[in-house]
Amino acid sequence: MLKKSVALLLMAFTAHADMTSFYKVALKNLQYDKSYTLYKKANKTSQTAVTYSKYANFSADASYSKTYAQFLPSSAGSFATTDISLHDTLDLFGKNNYKIQTLRLDTKVKKSRLNLKKEKLFITLANMIALYNNTSSQLKLHQELYNTQQNIYKKLVSLAKNGDITKLEILRFKNTLTTLKTKIVSQIQNLTKMKKQLQIYAPNEIIPILTQTQLLYTKNDFLFYNPKEHINQLSAKKILAKSKGFNTTYIPTLDVGVAYQKLDDPTSYGNNYSFGATLHLPLNGGHFKEAEALKVTALAQQTQNIEYKLQREQEYIEHFQAYINAKKQLIILENALNDFKTSEITIQKAYLKQYVDFNTYLQVLKQALDIKKHIINMKTQESLEVSIINAVSQGWIYE
């Protein structure tokens, strides 16, 4: 049963899948782009509303009054007055243009925030997949070791029948095999858990294998994409746009209107018609002070760009140095691997002939196992860091 479970897991592990496809399916399931599209549509509608209100800010007034006249004949002892007027406030001088600019910047900020979310999603998935790949490789390594040691155990049992080895030695070996078996079972359960966690993001996708080992882009390519810095720059521009809005409060607005008055007064000369235009010129000096304050705030915001640039450079250094460390260690480890494999074969022969004791045998096996596991760790680290650097530098994860 144990061998069957391991075989199924390893079969799934060797089935190649594309990291790009896995990421894009996860992105679609999370509906990041759909959310942004809806926001963009709403923002566009708001811009249209501002544009419309610049020239179509209508208001209507109506009133009705009845007057009783003491000296008119009884048949015409009262008369009615009806007033109807229509007004429109016109922004002919672009006083509210800053509102449209602010809304456009809001859309760009939303896009940059979306890019940041996409980047975090990719790095999260890459780390989860790397851990899954690593655990799968170590499971395969432990399973191979278990199968080999089972064969050794069978040979030890034969030797014990001839009296060449003690039952205590057999028991110690068997206990060690049991410990290794529990390790395998634990790894199988961990892989099952990790697989289910990854399938939450992309239910029908095969979990990919990170295989990239070569950097395809430079440091400048990586630094070119910096969502945090871009968000900060746009936020500063929004503040400046609001500052310009305060500076334009002194610009006049034009209010035009038409009015109609219907008179039933028999002594009047008839109904009245009128057209009026009023120019409003605000003289609030406090708005200029607020505009200056916002400019200072925007400048303070812009100074944070340096911090975000340094943070991005730090991120690159961390990924790049981890890659270089893994690459250099792999050269040393892979050169030494053949020696450890030879040691494994030699110590097995020596142990079966009882030239060495169980502790010595176990120590050599553990050393060989440790170096193989370390190679797996470094290969995983190398592929993970390269995958992240290449993906960010190419920019496809933001599309």
CATH of the domain at 102: 1.20.1600.10
Give the model's pLDDT for residue 219.
95
Q: What residue has token string 């078996």?
A: 181
Q: CB under 8 Å to 218, separation ≥6 — which residues?
A: 393
Whether 65 is covered by a domain: the verdict is no
Within 10 Å of residue 77's Cβ, how many Cβ atoms? Answer: 12
Tokens, residue 117? 């979310």
Residues 6+ away with beta carbon under 8 Å from 155? 352
What is the reported pLDDT for 134?
Answer: 97
- What's the pLDDT score for residue 129? 97
Domain count, the chain: 1
> Per the domain annotation, does 58 fall within a domain?
no
Residue 33 belongs to some domain of the structure: yes
- Classify residue 85: in a domain, yes or no: no
CA 183 to chain centre: 35
Q: Is residue 206 part of a domain?
A: yes
| 39 belongs to a structural domain | yes
Q: Which domain holds residue 148?
A: 2-53+94-398
Interacting residues of 251 by C-beta distance below 8 A, sequence separation 6+: 93, 94, 95
Instruction: Say if residues 153 and 173 touch (Cβ distance below 8 Å).
Output: yes
Write phi, then psi, for 252 (nearest 5 degrees). Answer: -70, 155
Gap between the Cα atoms of 243 and 102, Å rounded: 11
71 part of a folded domain: no
Specify the pLDDT at position 233: 94
What is the radius of gyration, based on Cα positions, of the chain?
A: 39
Spell out the per-residue pLDDT of the chain, length 399, in tens: 445 444 444 443 333 357 999 999 999 999 999 999 999 899 888 888 887 777 777 778 888 777 766 655 555 566 677 888 887 676 667 777 888 888 899 999 999 999 999 999 999 999 999 999 999 999 999 999 999 999 999 999 988 888 888 888 899 999 999 999 999 999 999 999 999 999 999 998 999 999 899 999 999 999 999 999 999 999 999 988 888 877 776 677 777 778 877 777 666 666 777 777 777 666 665 567 777 888 888 888 888 999 999 999 999 999 999 999 999 999 999 999 889 989 999 999 998 888 999 999 999 999 999 999 999 999 999 999 999 999 999 999 998
- The torsion angles phi and psi of 273, rounded to 5 degrees, stand at -125, 140
For residue 130, being part of any structural domain is answered with: yes
- Given phi > 0 = left and psi -120 to 50 = alpha, else beta, which region is 395? left
CA dihedral 33, 35, 40, 46 (to 10 degrees): 180
**CB burial readout 158-182, b (16+ within 10 A) else e:** ebeeeeebeeebeeebeebbeebee
